[in-house]
Amino acid sequence: MKDKKFIVHISGVIAMVFWGLSFIWSTQVFQYLNPTTTIFFRLIISSIFLGSLLLIFKLFEKVNRKDLKLFALAALFEPFLYFIFESYGLLNAAPVVSSAIIATIPLFTPIAAFFFLKERLTPWNIVGFIISFFGVIFMLVNKNLELTISTKGVIFLFSAVIVAVAYSISLRKLTLLYKPLTITFVQNVIGMIYFIPMVFIMEKVTPSNIMGFSNYIIPLLSLGVFASSVAYTLWAFAFSKLGAAKANIYSNLIPVFTAIFSCIIIGENLNIQKILGILLVIGGLILSQLKFKKS
């Protein structure tokens, strides 16, 4: 039983590693492709990758027609709206700052889960949320306690947070009906369809430098395979076992991994303030998973 719980938690952590890296990969691709085209290619790669796995290992599940509306709603929230808000927010903020705002998702999810899913929280969950929140704030401000992000970036990124919370509610119902791999594949295919008209519109507004193929192919493939396929599948698995509130707590790890990899890959400074923020985030995550022992 403990081994199964360990696998669930490891799945959540690995998903956050890839999502933490996704902010860096996206920043690299945005130098050549506009965000909308990037997301569209990312979903194509993900759909091909997941479809191949389902075909090779004969894991295809039949999707009931009555559930297509729920899939369409989930895909509208994520990947469609979420990726739009997150990507354009990332254009107006550094990777670490952007990921720190995204990490506030667990602070809003319990409220939605309480009203829509009737999920309850323990006192340790609440304490963990508060500590992690301060960790995120530490990573959002400079030495003068001023926000290190533009207003436009704040609006886009917090819109992504709201959409992610709505997605969590719709995903909870799907995890009771289908396997994580099926959910990820179907929502990515539907999301890809949503993006088709957006690509044509945005390419006229901000044309992409598609010919710079050799410069962005590796981070783009990484986004499609690891961020949009592996991470979403692992997270859906953890989500099905932990529930909306507890699973989303792992989102607090995203800025931690983004900060670490930003320092290693693109040379972003990891100062003492960010390190303290990282420690608070991890501490809050650990506390949020504790349970009171009955006397």
Q: CA dihedral defined by 19, 23, 28, 29, rounded to 10 degrees?
A: 70
Name the residue with higher pLDDT: 186 or 255. 186
Range of weakest confidence among 56-70, 114-128, 167-181, 262-276? 114-128
Nearest CA to 184 among 88, 10, 5, 61? 61
Taking residues 251-262, what's their average pLDDT?
A: 85
What's residue 47's pLDDT? Answer: 96
Name the residue with higher pLDDT: 30 or 288. 30
Nearest CA to 208 among 32, 19, 17? 32
pLDDT single digits (tens) 181-211 = 999 999 999 999 999 999 999 999 999 999 9
pLDDT single digits (tens) 12-65 = 999 999 999 999 999 999 999 999 999 999 999 999 999 999 999 999 899 999
Which residues have a Cβ under 8 Å from the Cβ of 19 and sit 6 or more positions away?
A: 227, 231, 254, 257
What's residue 283's pLDDT? Answer: 83
- In angstroms, the CA 148 to CA 169 distance is 31
What is the pLDDT of the chain when averaged over all its residues? 86
Tokens coding 141: 């401000």
pLDDT single digits (tens) 205-254 = 999 999 988 999 999 999 999 999 999 889 888 888 887 667 777 877 88
- 128 pLDDT band (50/70/90 cuts)? confident
Taking residues 123-129, what's their average pLDDT?
A: 79
- 112 pLDDT band (50/70/90 cuts)? confident
- 102 pLDDT band (50/70/90 cuts)? confident
Q: Is the pLDDT of residue 3 over 70?
A: no
Q: Is the pLDDT of residue 294 over 80?
A: no
What's residue 154's pLDDT? Answer: 86
What's residue 295's pLDDT? Answer: 40
Name the residue with higher pLDDT: 6 or 23. 23
Q: Is the pLDDT of residue 85 over 80?
A: yes
What's residue 291's pLDDT? Answer: 61
Q: Where are the domains of the chain?
A: 2-288
Count of CA atoms in the C-beta half-sphere (13 A) of 65: 0
Taking residues 133-161, what's their average pLDDT?
A: 82
What's residue 63's pLDDT? Answer: 93
What's residue 124's pLDDT? Answer: 79
